[in-house]
Each structure stands twice: as structure tokens, then as C-alpha cells.
């Protein structure tokens, strides 16, 4: 997408982060950027998938805390309609191994969480011009000789040879919550037969014997992660959709 043609179309952005204040800060920054518009935000992996399926943002700013072993990045960047993913790197993931893993998984850019606001704007502009972007403060951590696969293995991860699609990831999450095929079908508005097909594909891709084994592999590989319970009084919605004035809400 060429942002120089912003008079015809702006860059749409989704933000995925567990901290409301940080999401609000990015929303304020994007609002001040004439050629960009934040269309939604989410605090979870599941909400992120819903946001992408329903609103199709051009760019997703994803907290590294929601992709600690980079498998979720690969899920988001797989497929012809995948958004440009910029990983917002927290201090816990500020190392060469994580950065190499994120880029190998398909991330289009990485920005340090504590970076100056203009770095985020630079990253969005760069990936929209089909260029990869790495925050200057992170570049020294990624050397030309870095071997991403080795870096991932060194962290004790078990990288998936075949990434799950976004729909398969949703089904995998619901399997991990103990849902049977009929219940998953109702939640995702799919037929039971379609869910069965997704489950078979998941078992094949994970080389799993059964659903329980698949859940175990998903957690060990970093594909799924334990999500802490929200604090009392937290919003029930996992993501909030924002639309420009005069624009009808997304259906």
C-alpha cells in the first residue's frame, strides 16, 4: 500500500496489547498521523484474530508479550490476506534471539516498547512501503550471521514446521478450553463438519495423536499461552472497534 495516496485511502491499524494505557497512547499517536487510522484494539490473541478477520487492518502492532515464542507471529503472517505485523518489543524480549525469531516468523518490523513516538510512525510508514523496519536501538542485536532457527531452539522452543492458519488457531484455542466440536462450531459460526476438518488439520500439523496431545504441544511450542484472569471491573470485551465519524460500524 502506498501511503502517498493517502487522499484516497488511509493506512488502517490494529493494536494488540494487554495494557489499556499503552493502547490509548498509541491511539492518540495514530490520531495525530493524517495518513493513518486506528480501527480496533485488542488485549488478547483471540481478540486479535477476530479483529483481523472482521476488519482486515493493513498493519497490526503486536506486543511481544502476546507472542513470547514467536509462533503467534507466524500464524498472523501466514496467508495471502495477512496484515503487516510490527512487534512492539518489551524489555523481557529485548535480545537477539527473540528478534531473530520474530523476523524468521514473518514480522515486518520491530519497535522497542519504550521508543520515541516517531519510531512507531516510521515503522508503520516503512512496512507500508514493503520495507522491513528495525528500531535503531535494536539493530545491533541482529547480526548478519544470526541463525534464526538455532536462536529459537536455544530458547528451548519447539518451532512448528507447518504453521496453523488463523482459523485453525481459533479452533486450537477453543479445544484448549475444553470445548467439543459442536460447541466450537456454534462459537465460530461454522458447521460441525468444517470444525472436524480443522481439527484433523491441526492434529496433522502438530503431529499430535489426539486433541489432548495437540494442546500439550501447542503450549510447549509457545503457540498457546496461559492468559491471566482480568482484574475485577475489567471490560468484558476482548477488543474494541473504533470507526471514524460518519462511518457505519463494521458488521
Q: Domains in the chain, please, with CATH?
A: 9-154 (3.40.50.2300), 166-221 (1.10.10.10)
Could you tell me which of 249, 251, 242 has the C-alpha nearest to residue 39?
242
What grid cell was written down for 240? 474494541
What's the pLDDT at 114?
94
What's the pLDDT at 52?
92
> Do 142 and 136 contact (CB within 8 A), yes or no?
no
Enumerate helices (H) and strands (E) in the chain, giving the number of each: 11, 7
- How would you write the pLDDT of the chain (251 residues) with one tens digit per residue? 555 444 457 899 999 999 999 999 999 999 999 999 999 999 999 889 989 988 999 999 999 999 988 889 988 998 778 999 999 999 999 999 899 999 988 999 999 999 999 999 999 999 998 888 999 989 888 764 454 443 443 444 445 557 788 888 889 989 988 899 999 999 889 999 999 999 999 999 888 999 999 888 888 877 777 654 444 343 333 444 443 443 433 43
**Phi, psi for 134 (deg, rounded to 5):** -130, 125
Could you tell me which of 196, 164, 10, 144 has the C-alpha nearest to residue 73?
164
DSSP run (H or E) holding 14? strand 11-16
Amino acid at each position: 500500500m502506498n501511503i502517498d495516496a493517502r487522499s484516497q485511502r488511509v493506512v488502517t491499524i490494529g493494536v494488540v496489547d494487554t495494557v489499556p494505557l499503552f493502547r490509548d497512547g498509541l491511539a492518540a499517536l495514530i490520531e495525530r498521523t493524517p495518513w493513518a487510522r486506528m480501527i480496533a484494539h485488542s488485549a488478547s490473541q483471540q481478540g486479535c484474530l477476530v479483529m483481523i478477520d472482521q476488519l482486515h487492518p493493513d498493519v497490526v502492532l503486536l506486543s511481544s508479550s502476546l507472542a513470547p515464542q514467536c509462533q503467534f507471529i507466524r500464524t498472523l503472517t501466514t496467508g495471502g490476506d495477512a496484515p503487516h505485523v510490527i512487534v512492539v518489543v518489551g524489555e523481557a524480549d529485548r535480545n537477539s534471539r527473540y528478534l531473530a525469531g520474530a523476523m524468521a516468523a514473518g514480522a515486518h518490523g520491530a519497535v522497542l516498547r519504550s521508543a520515541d513516538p516517531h519510531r512507531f510512525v516510521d515503522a508503520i510508514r516503512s512496512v507500508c512501503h514493503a520495507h522491513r523496519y528495525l528500531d535503531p536501538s535494536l539493530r545491533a542485536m541482529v547480526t548478519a550471521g544470526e541463525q534464526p532457527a538455532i536462536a529459537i531452539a536455544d530458547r528451548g522452543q519447539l518451532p512448528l514446521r507447518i504453521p496453523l492458519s488463523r482459523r485453525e488457531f481459533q479452533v486450537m484455542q477453543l479445544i484448549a478450553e475444553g470445548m467439543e466440536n459442536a460447541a466450537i462450531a456454534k462459537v465460530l459460526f461454522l458447521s460441525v463438519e468444517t470444525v472436524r476438518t480443522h481439527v484433523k488439520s491441526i492434529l496433522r500439523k502438530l503431529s499430535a495423536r489426539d486433541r489432548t496431545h495437540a494442546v500439550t504441544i501447542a503450549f510447549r511450542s509457545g503457540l498457546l499461552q496461559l492468559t491471566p484472569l482480568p482484574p475485577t471491573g475489567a471490560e468484558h470485551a476482548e477488543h474494541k472497534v473504533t470507526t471514524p465519524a460518519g462511518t457505519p460500524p463494521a458488521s
